[in-house]
Amino acid sequence: MKKHILLLAACLQLISSVVRADEGMWLLHMLQRINEAEMQQMGLNLTAEDIYSINQACLKDAVITLNGGSCTAEIISSKGLVLTNHHCSYGAIQGFSSVEDDILTNGFWAKSLAEEKPIPDFNVSFLVRIEDMTERVLEMVTSSMSESERDEAIGGAIAAIEEEASADNDYRVQVKSFYYGNEFYLFVYNDYEDIRLVGNPPESIGKFGGDTDNWMWPRHTGDFSMLRIYADADNNPAEYSEENVPFTPKRHLKVSLDGVNNGDFSMIMGYPGSTDRFLSSWGITQALDLYNPAVVNVRDLKLRTMKEHMDADPAVRIQYAAKYAQTANYWKYYIGQSKGLRALDVHGKKEEIERQFVEWTNQNPDRQAEYGEALDLITDYYASTDATVIGNVYTLEAGLLANDLILFAYRVGSLAGGLFDEGSADAARERLAGLADGFFKDFDRATDRDLFERVMAKYMADIPADQCPAFFATVNDKYKGDFSRYADKMYSKSPLVDADRFADFLANPSEKVIEKDLAISAAMSLIAMYRAHFASPDQVKFDRGYRLFVKGLREMNPDAMWYPDANSTMRLSYGTVGDYDPADAVHYDFVTTARGILEKKDNTNPEFVVHPELETLVRNKDYGRYADENGDLVLCFISNNDITGGNSGSPVLNGNGDLIGLAFDGNWEAMSGDIAFEPALQRTISVDIRYVMWIVDKMAGAQNLIDEIDFVQGGSDAGLGTNAETPEGLKVLEGGR
Which H or E element spans position 144? Answer: none
Active-site residue (options: 648, 672, 686, 716): 648
pLDDT at 291 over 90: yes
For 677, counting Cβ atoms within 10 Å of its Cβ (0-12 exposed, 13-18 middle, 19+ buried), the class is: buried
Task: Note the pLDDT tens digit of each residue in 333-378.
Answer: 999 999 999 999 999 999 999 999 999 999 999 999 999 999 999 9
pLDDT at 728 over 80: no
Respond yes or no on whether the N-terminal peptide bond of residue 582 is cis (omega within 30° of 0). Answer: no
User: Region 529-538: what's the mean pLDDT?
Assistant: 77
DSSP string, 667-684: -GGGGGGGTS--TTT--E
Give the model's pLDDT for residue 219: 98
Which has the closest alpha carbon to 469: 528, 512, 424?
528
pLDDT at 17 over 60: no
Mean pLDDT for all residues in the chain: 92
User: Region 20-31: what's the mean pLDDT?
Assistant: 86
Give the model's pLDDT for residue 22: 76
Task: Note the pLDDT tens digit of each residue in 115-137.
Answer: 999 999 999 999 999 999 999 99
Which has the closest alpha carbon to 415: 425, 406, 405, 423?
425
DSSP string, 319-333: HTHHHHHHHHHHHHH
Amino acid at site 628: D
Which has the closest alpha carbon to 202: 95, 105, 317?
105
Task: Note the pLDDT tens digit of each residue in 595-608.
Answer: 999 999 999 999 99
> Do 237 and 191 contact (CB within 8 A), yes or no?
yes
Query: For this structure, is 177 an active site residue?
Result: no
Query: For this structure, is 642 an active site residue?
Result: no
Out of 6-15, 117-126, 279-288, which region has the weakest mean confidence (pLDDT)?
6-15
Task: Note the pLDDT tens digit of each residue in 623-682.
Answer: 999 999 999 999 999 999 999 999 999 999 999 999 999 999 999 999 999 999 998 999
Give the model's pLDDT for residue 3: 35
What CA–CA distance (Å, rounded) separates 700 from 685? 24
Residue 715 confidence class, pLDDT cut points 50, 70, 90 = low
Task: Note the pLDDT tens digit of each residue in 561-593.
Answer: 899 999 999 999 999 999 999 999 999 999 999
Active-site residue (options: 50, 61, 194, 223): 223
> Do 487 and 518 contact (CB within 8 A), yes or no?
no
User: Structural domains in the chain?
Assistant: 8-123+193-272+568-706 (2.40.10.120), 281-534 (no CATH)
Active-site residue (options: 29, 87, 220, 611): 87
pLDDT at 15 over 60: no
Q: How remote is the C-alpha of 554 from its chain's centroid?
A: 27
Give percent above pLDDT 70 in the chain.
94
Task: Note the pLDDT tens digit of each residue in 128-174.
Answer: 999 999 999 999 999 899 999 999 999 999 999 999 999 878 899 99
What CA–CA distance (Å, rounded) separates 633 from 691? 7
Which has the closest alpha carbon to 641: 163, 270, 235?
270
pLDDT at 29 over 90: yes
pLDDT at 276 over 70: yes
Give percent above pLDDT 90 in the chain.
90
pLDDT at 732 over 70: no
Which has the closest alpha carbon to 17: 210, 370, 278, 390?
278
Residue 736 confidence class, pLDDT cut points 50, 70, 90 = very low
Give the model's pLDDT for residue 686: 98
What CA–CA distance (Å, rounded) separates 561 from 553? 12
pLDDT at 731 over 60: no
Give the model's pLDDT for residue 721: 34
> Do 447 and 305 contact (CB within 8 A), yes or no?
yes
Query: For this structure, is 587 an active site residue?
Result: no
Between strands 710-713 and 255-256, the pairing is parallel
Which has the closest alpha carbon to 649: 213, 322, 118, 270?
270
Stated pTM of the model: 0.91
Task: Note the pLDDT tens digit of each residue in 438-494.
Answer: 999 999 999 999 999 999 999 999 999 999 999 999 999 999 999 999 999 999 999
423 or 15: which carries more pLDDT confidence? Answer: 423
Give the model's pLDDT for residue 537: 72
pLDDT at 12 over 80: no
